[in-house]
Structure 1
Amino acid sequence: MNNSNKNKLFTAHCDKYGILPNGELFDLNSIKTRRNNNISIFGASGAGKTRSFVIPNILSAVNSYIVSDPKGNLYAQYADLMRKNGYKVIHIDLIHPESSDKYNPLCYVHDSDDACKLATQIVNLGYGGAKGTTDPFWDRAAELLLKSLIGLVMEDCLEVEHSINSISELLTKIEFEDDEEFSLNNSELNRIFERHASRYRKPFENSWAYDQYLKFKATPPRTLACIIITIQAMLGPFSSKGLNKMTSGLETIDLKAIGREKTIVFLGISDTDRSKDLLANIFYSQAMNELCNYADYKCKDSRLPVPVRFILDDFGTNCRIYGFENMISNIRSRDISAALILQSEAQLKHGYGESSHTIIDNCDTIIYMGGNDVQTAKMISERCNQPLQKILNMPIGTNWTFRRGEQPKYSETVDLSEYRIVEKGYRQKTG
């Protein structure tokens, strides 16, 4: 792209456009373009994914944004500027949770379906974001226990605080005995459930939490002990003072409001400490579900008043959205889109298995910024009909851009230093 065209693009009013790493703008009106706005970006560390795509698109101040923020640098550098642009700024800080805005996942458990989703997500992701087991019996039993404990909070049990840490504390109310005849009947947890069931008063309805607990009680004693210890390990990070304060109580951010008013959420999560990945993954999943439900039941034509873009760095590992492979096929109609930032196709497959192909297929824009992974290079080689060796030896600072309905484009990657930040988005640097 020559300089005159680049000047024209970046001095244009950007209210309806996103920005590609090659400096081009793309129309975000998915009804007009008949494309979705989902983007997969592949590139090795240092390829410029953040500088050429993430930052320009945030500062274009077009939509609402939910942004993965490794190390917390984006919040530190751009939060004030976004406020000046009229944005509500929310900071979910898992690096320093004691200074974070409040986020309590249990506030978004409205019914038994939500309780089931959260319990299944915790078990499927397991400790540290990795799936805990391949044993279906163990998984179902663990889900039953978690459903019952989450249900206690949902049903406003008088003996349970409104926090995930309280769920972990409930598990300590079981004293294990080295006895094959051991059962939950003599535990304090059993007494809590029975007291709750006796107090629960709804016409023609028993306590759902108690029903799940009764099903779990049939678990063999030795399996029961293993399940409880493993779930305590999964929920262990919530016991820290910072996370317990951040995730407790009824005060929490309004996820639906992100689709009503211009908002940017910075989710700060360490790229070296994986202990808080589970909470990050719960947040992304709940945000996606809350926005989809809000669009479906409260918005005209089931489209959000303010479109929401998820910009997700390290998507294959710490941005695991439970059920995302199904969601990405349908979010376009709600004016929701996702930019998935990855180092390689293998990284995506590690996080999503065979569903990784579904995710890529539902991105109408794919960007490749170079790397050493041969499988990713093969995918790009086939897409642009170029020799594999040429793709593997791409000069640093170049990229391939693929847009459905267009020929592939090979371009130089825009250097962020060529542009200056203004009150309303990006413009070409002058003088």
Structure 2
Amino acid sequence: MSGEATLSLSLGLPIPITPGQVDLTSGFAQRESSQRLLNTAGIRPAPQKSQRPGLTSVRGAELIEYAGDSHLMTIAPTGAGKGRSVIIPNLLTYPGPIIVVDPKGENYAVTARRRREMGQRVIRLDPFGVIDGNSDGLNPMDIFDLLNMDIETDSQMLAEMLSIGNRGVKDPFWDLNACGLISGLMAHVALTKAQPERNFSALRQFLMADDVVYKLAVLLDTQGKTMNRMAYEEIASFLQMSERDTRPGVLATAHSYMKAFLSKAVDKALEKSSFTLADVVAGEPLSIYIIIPPDKLLSHRALLKLWVGTLLKAVTSRKTIPQQRTLFLLDECGQLGNFPYLESVITLCRGYGLQVWSFWQDMSQIKKLYEMSWSTMVNNCAVLQIFGAKNYVVANEFAQLVGADANEIRGVGSDEQVLVINGEDPIRAYRLDYLTDARYKGMYDVNPLYAGNAPRGL
């Protein structure tokens, strides 16, 4: 098997066509050459293709895979089986480094042993103890150790990650100035604190002190002449605001951005990294599971965004592309909220040895969060995978996306999917199932959420 093939991502299984079966089509155009699609898509070659009513099917391939280096997008509702048929099969087989958002900890429980057997070092960012109380850590301020780091712009980037999703909807004044204050303080911490004190705890001690204004004024008086210029100007700008209304409002806004980081558990997970970002940059064999339970995804969205953004920043700082691509499996991507950095990665950052596989509940979720750029994000994904359309409204959204009839989409079986690869005509295929497919036998562990019960979709 070639090096490229070993990095293939598993998508599904072909639907076998009975010899002599009459081929029917309604709505989807027939392809002149399925072999051309198979080659360009990275699917293992199939000797022929056939069609089932309304949808093109591939016949003869052992496994439908994607071996390209572009991004992927899966759209399916909650409970449709994204974990069981997409995320877990790829965690069990993909040999390169993986970073996965794993809200319930199911992916970790089922696949961590297998990842270790594949030679991967497994990291579990689990501040709320979903698996147990022994979480690894990731300090976002470690980005200041990257070779191409820039104190000012990287401080602004981290501050933006904290603020976006927590901002008010009326007057941007408060958010812009609160973000500026945090970025200035972060730059100061980055330049004056050494490990292990250079972390969010040090930032919080400045921002949430008993008398913030007095302590910041003393800081400028005693260190202003040697302080980083951006840090000085942002702090000075804050101190010059009206002490009656403006300054307290900006400070309260800045405090609101830090709410997700006040608990001891989160503070500990942010204090010190269990691994180095240099290893992420180098493409070392790491499997990083980010576990934030569903009931904390809204209140701690900033934490999820901060960790995902830090790891994306590390990968996009590469000067040399490693042999194996780093795969981001971003389940429940909508829970990140509007995330301009992720948008930039999907639309602009191809070529860093980075692949983002994002998972969404429906098209409305994408359109709401990325009103002006959703189509660009979709167009920059070489693979679109859709399944689980339960009603006409959702089926119609899917149909418009792939150029089909909504009734055809609704007719896709519960164990089937529609794949659009490299902009070619849609493929109707079976979904994978790690529980029933013999190729995964012995690789996975029991999902504790379904211990003793027949598992449903994940």
TM-score band, normalised by shorter chain? 0.7 to 0.9
In structure 2, distance between residues paired with 1:391 and 1:230: 46
Matched residue type, 1:239: L
SS in 2 for 1:406: coil
User: Residues 52-63 of structure 1 correspond to what in structure 2 (within 5 A)?
Assistant: 52-63=85-96
Asked if 1:169 corresponds to 2:205, the answer is: yes
**Match for residue 314 of structure 2 among 274, 287, 290:** 290
Equivalent in the alignment of 1:413 = 431
**Match for residue 224 of structure 2 among 178, 191, 197:** 197
Is the CA contact (8 Å cut-off) linking 2:123 and 2:287 kept in structure 1?
yes
Give the direction of change, closer, same or farther, for the CA distance of 1:215–1:208 in structure 2 (3 Å limit): same
Q: Which segment is superposed worse, 47-56 or 91-100?
A: 91-100
Matched residue type, 2:178: A
In structure 2, distance between residues paired with 1:293 and 1:343: 30
How far did 1:118 drift?
A: 1.0
Give the direction of change, closer, same or farther, for the CA distance of 1:320–1:252 in structure 2 (3 Å limit): farther
User: Residues 73-92 of structure 1 correspond to what in structure 2 (within 5 A)?
Assistant: 73-92=106-125
Q: Kindly provide the CA deviation profile for residues 373-422 of structure 1, in whole angstroms up to 9, marking residues without a partner as x.
A: 76653343235443223424543222111112532112232333222436
In structure 2, distance between residues paired with 1:220 and 1:374: 55
Asked if 1:135 corresponds to 2:171, the answer is: yes
How far did 1:198 drift?
A: 4.8
SS in 2 for 1:310: strand
How far did 1:272 drift?
A: 2.0
Asked if 1:237 corresponds to 2:270, the answer is: no
Gaps of 5+ in 1: 1-8, 177-183, 201-205, 426-431
Identity %: 22
User: Residues 149-168 of structure 1 correspond to what in structure 2 (within 5 A)?
Assistant: 149-156=185-192, 161-168=197-204
Is the CA contact (8 Å cut-off) linking 2:333 and 2:359 kept in structure 1?
yes
Matched residue type, 2:154: D
In structure 1, distance between residues paired with 2:359 and 2:383: 12
Equivalent in the alignment of 1:312 = 330
Gaps of 5+ in 2: 16-37, 45-65, 445-458
User: Residues 236-255 of structure 1 correspond to what in structure 2 (within 5 A)?
Assistant: 236-249=259-272, 251-255=273-277
Q: Kindly provide the CA deviation profile for residues 5-58 of structure 1, in whole angstroms up to 9, marking residues without a partner as x.
A: xxxx9xxx96132100346996399xxx99543111111222221111111111
Asked if 1:99 corresponds to 2:126, the answer is: no
**Match for residue 377 of structure 2 among 338, 355, 359:** 359
In structure 2, distance between residues paired with 1:352 and 1:405: 21
Is the CA contact (8 Å cut-off) linking 2:399 and 2:406 kept in structure 1?
yes
SS in 2 for 1:357: helix
In structure 2, distance between residues paired with 1:367 and 1:321: 22
4+ residue runs over 4 A deviation: 23-26, 33-36, 372-376, 422-425
In structure 2, distance between residues paired with 1:27 and 1:90: 30
Equivalent in the alignment of 1:382 = 400
In structure 2, distance between residues paired with 1:423 and 1:398: 24
In structure 2, distance between residues paired with 1:40 and 1:310: 11
In structure 2, distance between residues paired with 1:327 and 1:241: 32
Q: Kindly provide the CA deviation profile for residues 297-319 of structure 1, in whole angstroms up to 9, marking residues without a partner as x.
A: 2x1xxx23321111110011237
Give the direction of change, closer, same or farther, for the CA distance of 1:360–1:107 in structure 2 (3 Å limit): same
Equivalent in the alignment of 1:277 = 301
**Match for residue 147 of structure 1 among 177, 183, 187:** 183
SS in 2 for 1:418: coil
In structure 2, distance between residues paired with 1:194 and 1:312: 46
TM-score (norm 2): 0.76
Q: Kindly provide the CA deviation profile for residues 122-181 of structure 1, in whole angstroms up to 9, marking residues without a partner as x.
A: 22232xxxx4344232222112211121122111159x94222332332333649xxxxx
**Match for residue 43 of structure 1 among 72, 76, 79:** 76
Asked if 1:369 corresponds to 2:387, the answer is: yes
Is the CA contact (8 Å cut-off) linking 2:114 and 2:443 kept in structure 1?
no
Is the CA contact (8 Å cut-off) linking 2:42 and 2:68 kept in structure 1?
no
How far did 1:61 drift?
A: 2.9
Is the CA contact (8 Å cut-off) linking 1:381 and 1:388 kept in structure 2?
yes
Asked if 1:260 corresponds to 2:283, the answer is: yes
SS in 2 for 1:247: helix
Q: Which segment is superposed worse, 320-329 or 230-239?
A: 320-329
